[in-house]
Amino acid sequence: MRRRAFITLLGGAAALPLAARAQQTAKLPTIGYLGSGTSVTQGPWAAVFVRRLHELGWIEGRTVAIEVRWTEGRSERAAEIAADFVRMKVDAVVTMGTPTTLAAMQTAASVPIVFVNVSDPIAGKLVASLARPAGNVTGISNQTRELAGKRLELLREVVPGLRQLAILVNVDNPAAVQEMDEARVAALALGLDVATLEIRRAGDIAHAFETLKERANALYVQGDLLTIANRTAINTWALGLRLPTMHAFREDVQAGGLMSYGASAPDLFRRAAEYIDKILRGAKPADIPVEQPTKFDLVINLTTAKVLGLTVPPTLLARADEVIE
C-alpha cells in the first residue's frame, strides 16, 4: 500500500504542477527575445533585461513568459524566429541590431517591437523619427556610428605610432557599412592609411586576416552581429598578428580584445525592459520616443596590452570605466 501510495503521490507531484504551469503560461503575457548572437556572447545582456523586468514586477513563469531565441550570428535566422514568435502570439518582441530588427518588422508587422544596439534607426528605416516612431517599432539607439572618430582617438593614445589601420566589417549589414564609412573618414582625417577587411560570414574571417599581412598596425572591429558571435576567433587572429584592437562592446575586451568604447550595453538592455514594461501595460510603440544612450564605457584589457608590448598611459587608465588585468 505504501509503495502504491508513493507512486501515486510522485505521479501527482509531477503531473499537477506541469498541468497548472501549462494552464498558467497560456494566460501570461509573452515576450519574444530575439538575440542576434549566442547565449555565450550575449547571455549577460539577456540576464540584465530579465533582471530589470523582475524589478518592474514581471517575474518569469509567474507574471510573464519569456521565449529566448538566438540567431547565432546568422541574420537569415531572424525571420524564421520572428515567424515562430508570431505563431506563439507573443505580446512583444525584443530585437538587436538593424538586420535582425528589419527581419522582425517584415515578419511580425502587427507585434510591438523594441530594438536595442541599433546605430541609426532613421537611416536604417526602422522608424519615421525619433520623437514619433510611428508603426509598431521603437527602442534605444547605441550611436555606434557617431563614436567611430572617438574610438580612433582613444586607440592612438595607446598606439602612438599608429599609421595603418584595418577595419573589419560585415558588408552585408548596411548599418555596419555606414559605421565603416565614418571610421574611414575619421582615419583619413588623422592621416592614417586604411585597409578594409570585408566579411559576410564566419568562414570569411580567417581569409580576411590572411590577406592583411603587413598592411596594418591596428584593427578597428565594427560591432556587428557577425563579429560579436565570432569575437573570440577575431581576437585570436589579431593577437597572432600582434594587432591592437578597438571594439564597441565591453564583452569583446573580456574575450581578449585590447579596448572598447561605446554605449553601455547593460544600461541599454535595462532600458529596453522599461520599454517592454510600458508596452505590456498598454502603451503603443508609436507613442514611445526612441532614446539615445546616456552611459558610455571605456574598457581596457591590460593583459592584452602587455602581450602586445604596449604601455597604456596612466591618464587613459584613469579615465577608463573598467580595467581588465
| pLDDT tens digits along 179-234 | 999 999 999 999 999 999 999 999 999 999 999 877 899 999 998 888 988 999 99
pLDDT value of position 23: 44
Instruction: Please count the CA atoms within 13 angstroms of the CA of 12 that sit on its side-chain side.
Output: 6
Tell me the β-bridge partners of 140. Answer: 291
Residues 304 and 165 in one domain: yes
Render pLDDT for 4-30 as a digit per residue (tens, 0 to 9). 333 333 333 333 343 444 444 457 999
Tell me the β-bridge partners of 323. Answer: 300
Which secondary structure element, helix H or strand E, spans residue 95, and what is its range? strand 92-96
Average pLDDT of every residue of the chain? 90
Residues 223 and 320 in one domain: yes
Residues 39 and 98 in one domain: yes
Q: 219-221 and 193-199 as β-strands: parallel, antiparallel, unpaired?
A: unpaired
Can you tell me which residue has the cell 527575445? 33
Residues 133 and 184 in one domain: no
- SS3 of 110-130: the string is CCCEEEEEECCCCCCCCCCCC
pLDDT value of position 149: 95
Residues 136 and 173 in one domain: no
Residues 135 and 37 in one domain: yes
Residues 216 and 183 in one domain: yes
Residues 9 and 132 in one domain: yes
Domain count, the chain: 2
Question: pTM for this structure?
Answer: 0.84
CATH, residue 136: 3.40.50.2300
Residues 201 and 268 in one domain: no
Residues 162 and 308 in one domain: yes
**Extended beta strands in 129-223, E state:** 137-141, 164-170, 193-199, 219-221
Residues 179 and 254 in one domain: yes
How far is Cα 249 from Cα 205, in angstroms, rounded to an integer? 19
Residues 122 and 206 in one domain: no
> 193 is in which domain, residue-wise?
145-263+297-324
Neighbours of 5 (CB within 10 A): 9
